[in-house]
């Protein structure tokens, strides 16, 4: 059994932000990852994907974007390389290709972290493993048969050539769903898009990127205590954006030939059912967007900039026979679910998330970093992880000082 002060689980941007601060503090630690540095960015993103946030927002402890295009959007592969350079800049103690099998409390009150490459006995553990596993509607997880389309999750999608011939039903209209639907449509595929609750925003407003506005108006720094419904805030759909200087929303997709449907309601053989709520979902998203843009206007001069009128798509079909429609693939882009099968500590809440306050859990010495809306609204963004990392490391160091004094 290997003894170490701190183990960080996950070598993505959140885990590396924590490692940087631990290194600066001279804290003995290792960073364990099931793959390589930035593994999700390497293997769970499609080929043409670009980050949704502009390059100037790539701020990590002691490290910022230094390229020539601060307002551009790098590819996911470029960002994985960026993280590798970041880790090298401070000599992050990475142990890659190591899968965590169990984190449990021993009879003596210590923690036991079992991996496929050995067992560790850490005093502190920081869980920075990302959003979890793809969320798949139960009907699609068991769909099978000669006449049934192939089911592909967004994290496994690479490019249109990978998919079966025929049309594609994309389930989910947040960031990944609309981008993949757009790419497939541009590749000549017939695309059906099942739309549920979503967040519509423009790529830019009054000459500035949407993230400039969100930061300048203090929305990204709002804490979980500033919102009326913390549970809803933590499950807010990702923004309908593309990492390019153009808008991508349902109105644009429909104009380009994508067939919009209500949110997915299940399967009956080869027949897919959809709720008759498309117009309602679009109208609600537009109303939320306009309230957001109104708040931006109020921060400038109170005047209302001209905006395109709200266009609600007409009612669409509530049933589609997948076989007759020639749909060869159902692509699932419905977000993630928490997934900690190796965690044997009583810190999981009813929603499957690790319960925490500013990254501190009920298990002494066990922390989380990088969760969506962990404390600030930007906690789940690359740029926001630095704030959570600082809070976690500060508490860890203070706790260590109190233990030493005792």
Neighbours of 283 (CB within 10 A): 12
Q: Which residue has tokens 């990475």?
A: 94
Q: Under 8 Å CB-to-CB from 68, ≥6 apart: which residues?
A: none
Residue with tokens 């009326």: 228
Residue 369 CA to residue 278 CA, distance in Å, equals 36
Domain 2-132+338-405 matching CATH 3.50.50.60: the answer reads yes
pLDDT tens across the length of the chain (406 residues): 889 999 999 999 999 999 999 999 999 999 999 999 999 999 999 999 999 999 999 999 999 999 999 999 999 999 999 999 999 999 999 999 999 999 999 988 789 999 999 999 999 999 999 999 999 988 887 766 667 899 999 999 999 999 999 999 999 999 999 999 999 999 999 999 999 999 999 999 999 999 999 999 999 999 999 999 988 888 888 999 999 999 999 999 999 999 999 999 999 889 999 999 998 999 899 999 999 999 999 988 888 877 766 666 665 678 999 999 999 999 999 999 999 999 999 999 999 999 999 999 999 999 999 999 999 999 999 999 999 999 999 999 998 776 654 3
**For the chain, where do the domains classified as CATH 3.50.50.60 start and end?**
2-132+338-405, 134-332
CATH homologous superfamily of 134-332 equals FAD/NAD(P)-binding domain (3.50.50.60)
Residue found under tokens 């695309």: 191
């Amino acid at each position: 059994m290997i003894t170490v002060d701190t183990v960080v689980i996950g070598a993505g941007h959140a885990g590396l932000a924590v490692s940087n601060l631990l290194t600066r503090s001279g804290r003995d630690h290792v960073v364990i990852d099931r793959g390589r540095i930035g593994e999700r960015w390497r293997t769970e993103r499609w080929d043409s994907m670009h980050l949704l946030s502009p390059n100037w927002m790539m701020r990590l402890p002691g490290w910022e974007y230094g390229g020539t295009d601060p307002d551009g959007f790098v590819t996911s592969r470029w960002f994985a390389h960026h993280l590798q350079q970041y880790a090298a800049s401070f000599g992050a103690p990475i142990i890659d290709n190591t899968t965590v099998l169990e984190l449990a409390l021993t009879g003596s009150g210590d923690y036991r972290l079992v991996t496929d490459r050995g067992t560790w006995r850490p005093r502190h553990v920081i869980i920075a493993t990302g959003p979890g596993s793809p969320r798949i509607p139960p009907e699609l997880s068991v769909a099978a048969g000669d006449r049934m389309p192939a089911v592909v999750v967004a994290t496994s999608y690479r490019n249109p050539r990978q998919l079966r011939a025929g049309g594609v039903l994309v389930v989910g209209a947040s960031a990944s769903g609309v981008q993949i639907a757009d790419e497939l449509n541009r590749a000549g595929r017939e695309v059906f898009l099942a739309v549920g609750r979503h967040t519509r925003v423009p790529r830019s407003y009054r000459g500035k990127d949407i993230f400039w506005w969100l930061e300048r108006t203090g929305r990204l720094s709002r804490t979980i205590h500033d919102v009326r419904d913390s549970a809803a805030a933590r499950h807010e759909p990702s923004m309908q954006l593309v990492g390019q200087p153009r808008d991508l929303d349902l109105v644009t997709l429909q104009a380009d030939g994508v067939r919009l449907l209500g949110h997915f309601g299940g399967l009956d053989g080869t027949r897919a059912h959809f709720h008759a709520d498309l117009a309602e979902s679009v109208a609600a998203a537009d109303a939320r967007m306009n309230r957001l843009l109104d708040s931006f206007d109020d921060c400038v001069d109170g005047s209302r900039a001209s905006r395109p009128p709200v266009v609600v798509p007409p009612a669409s079909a509530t049933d589609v026979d997948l076989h007759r429609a020639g749909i060869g693939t159902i692509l699932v882009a419905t977000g993630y679910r928490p997934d900690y099968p190796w965690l044997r500590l009583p810190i999981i809440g009813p929603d499957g998330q690790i319960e925490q306050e500013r990254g501190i859990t009920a298990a002494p010495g066990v922390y989380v970093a990088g969760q969506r809306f962990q404390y600030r609204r930007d906690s789940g963004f690359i740029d926001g992880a630095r704030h959570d990392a600082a809070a976690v490391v500060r508490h860890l160091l203070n706790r260590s000082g109190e233990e030493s004094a005792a």
